[in-house]
Amino acid sequence: MKDKIEIGLMGLGVVGVGVENALREKAADFAKQVGAPLVVKRILVRDPSKKRACQPHLLTTNPQHILDDPGIDIVVEVIGGESPAYDYIKEAVSRGKHVVTANKEVIAKHGFELLSLAAEHNVALLYEASAGGGIPLISPLRHDLLANKISAIHAIINGTTNYILTKMALEDIDFTAALREAQELGYAEADPASDVEGIDAAYKLAILAALAFHTQVLLEDVYYEGISRLAARDFRYAKELGYTVKLLAIAKREDNTFQVRVHPTFIPEDLLLAKVNGVFNAVQIDGDLTGRILFYGQGAGALPTSSAILADVIRLAQNMSQGSSPMPRVQMDQTMIAKPISEIETRYYLRMTVADRPGVLAQITRVLGELLISISSVIQKEVDERAQSAEIVIMTHPARERAMQQAVSEMNKLEAVREISNLVRVED
């Protein structure tokens, strides 16, 4: 039995402040739950001159003040980014400290290695906050859903892009205007690349899919594509066709293969996921025993994220104060193979501008037909009489991605095709 559990907090930014505040304000509650007080012993920051609400003597700019301290049982890493966070986590577990992190980049890139290292040193590495912020996802996948064979995950796991897409859909505005608004409100960073290019969602999907399919998912396995090509008219046309557009993170298992991809997706507007708006996140999981389940809530922010971090800390501290060993590891299946994006089969929405004259549609359908892509509908949208061009929207039946990409390349060579404006995958 330990009489207190000592914590080294690395990072005191948005999330770190939330964690530190809650540890102070809820100290009595936590001590009751754990059976011993949780005490923040040291806090690592980069800039010692910043004004902070915590006790100044706790602050340090030297990571060794935490890593070298044998009294510190749990390291909470909320610095973010790959470096130096990866090195600190690695050193902490190697020195027998439990680690709780919110770092999706480190877990997505190095999770397999770090979890093995933690197991070797008989400590836990917990990362509930790394995907979905305040929404419990990691723990349900690691515990409550273990009896299921999970066949698919469809997730909206980036609040910034969901805010932008919601604005575009509801206010008929273009991507740049919606992004500017998100930046003004603090929902998007000054450099929004990681969010709008789908990288942030790709990290989170790699983490979730690994737990869902009990396999190692490399970041290179995750295909990702951002939202910047979407235009206001794609949302109008989607609506006319009964769809809405979301940046979906999709993981699917088929026999011993799995596919993991993040891209703008047409989804039927009556699906629950289609109604997830603004900065909210939602994760839909299909299990063979549970059927379809949906997790919904705030995927970011100081308080929701600290809820996930502190749940990990409390669980660890309960184990420690009761003298139990760290939680068991999920057993990994090494035989599963990632399917490249070229091999997936899905329906497509294709928006293009073509010369407004007879015979053009026949040329396009010939290209698609030769590649065995069958069309479910063609709609002529706007005609620009001065440019003698017309905009058409094609919806296909399920087709192989490789064939679709080849068709796009063949159509681009046609003299009558002025522009292929967008190709969006459809999930029915």
Ligand X SMILES: NC(=O)c1ccc[n+]([C@@H]2O[C@H](COP(=O)([O-])OP(=O)(O)OC[C@H]3O[C@@H](n4cnc5c(N)ncnc54)[C@H](OP(=O)(O)O)[C@@H]3O)[C@@H](O)[C@H]2O)c1
Is residue 11 near ligand X by the rule CB under 6 A? yes
Q: Which of residues 236-265 bind ligand X (CB under 6 A)?
A: none
Stretch that binds ligand X, among 10-18, 140-148, 329-337, 350-358 (CB under 6 A): 10-18
Distance in Å, CB of 84 to ligand X, minimum: 5
Is residue 305 near ligand X by the rule CB under 6 A? yes
Distance CA 397, CA 348 (A): 7
Distance in Å, CB of 273 to ligand X, minimum: 20
Q: Which residue has the tokens 């069958």?
A: 374
Stretch that binds ligand X, among 42-50, 138-146, 261-269, 380-388 (CB under 6 A): 42-50
What is the length of the chain? Answer: 428
Stretch that binds ligand X, among 6-14, 92-100, 250-258, 288-296 (CB under 6 A): 6-14
- Interface with ligand X (CB under 6 A), residue from 42, 104, 214, 425: 104
Residue 275, CB-side half-sphere exposure with 13 Å CA sphere:
5
Nearer to ligand X, 51 or 413 (CB): 51
Distance in Å, CB of 52 to ligand X, minimum: 8
Is residue 16 near ligand X by the rule CB under 6 A? yes
Is residue 44 near ligand X by the rule CB under 6 A? yes
Is residue 102 near ligand X by the rule CB under 6 A? yes
Nearer to ligand X, 301 or 398 (CB): 301
Distance in Å, CB of 102 to ligand X, minimum: 3
Nearer to ligand X, 60 or 421 (CB): 60
Q: Decide if 8 contacts 44 (C-beta within 8 A).
A: yes
- For 351, the token pair is 């928006």
- Interface with ligand X (CB under 6 A), residue from 20, 97, 103, 261: 103
- Chain-centroid distance of CA 130 in Å reads 9
Distance in Å, CB of 302 to ligand X, minimum: 6
Nearer to ligand X, 103 or 244 (CB): 103
- Interface with ligand X (CB under 6 A), residue from 38, 66, 79, 199: 79
Stretch that binds ligand X, among 20-28, 299-307, 329-337, 348-356 (CB under 6 A): 299-307
Catalytic residue IDs: 204
Query: What mask of x and - would describe binding to ligand X in positions 276 to 295, judged by CB under 6 A?
Result: --------------------
Give residue 82's identity as a one-letter amino acid code.
E
- For 219, the token pair is 């970041």
| Total site size for ligand X, rule CB under 6 A | 23
Is residue 268 near ligand X by the rule CB under 6 A? no
- Interface with ligand X (CB under 6 A), residue from 80, 136, 297, 398: 80
Distance CA 128, CA 136 (A): 7
Q: Which residue has the tokens 């994220």?
A: 305
Distance CA 307, CA 18 (A): 9
Is residue 301 near ligand X by the rule CB under 6 A? yes
Q: Which of residues 318-347 bind ligand X (CB under 6 A)?
A: none
Q: Which of residues 121-140 bind ligand X (CB under 6 A)?
A: 129, 133
Stretch that binds ligand X, among 189-197, 260-268, 297-305, 403-411 (CB under 6 A): 297-305
Distance CA 364, CA 416 (A): 9
Is residue 15 near ligand X by the rule CB under 6 A? yes
- Interface with ligand X (CB under 6 A), residue from 24, 68, 84, 240: 84
Residues in touch with ligand X (CB under 6 A) = 11-16, 44-47, 50, 78-80, 84, 102-104, 129, 133, 300-301, 305
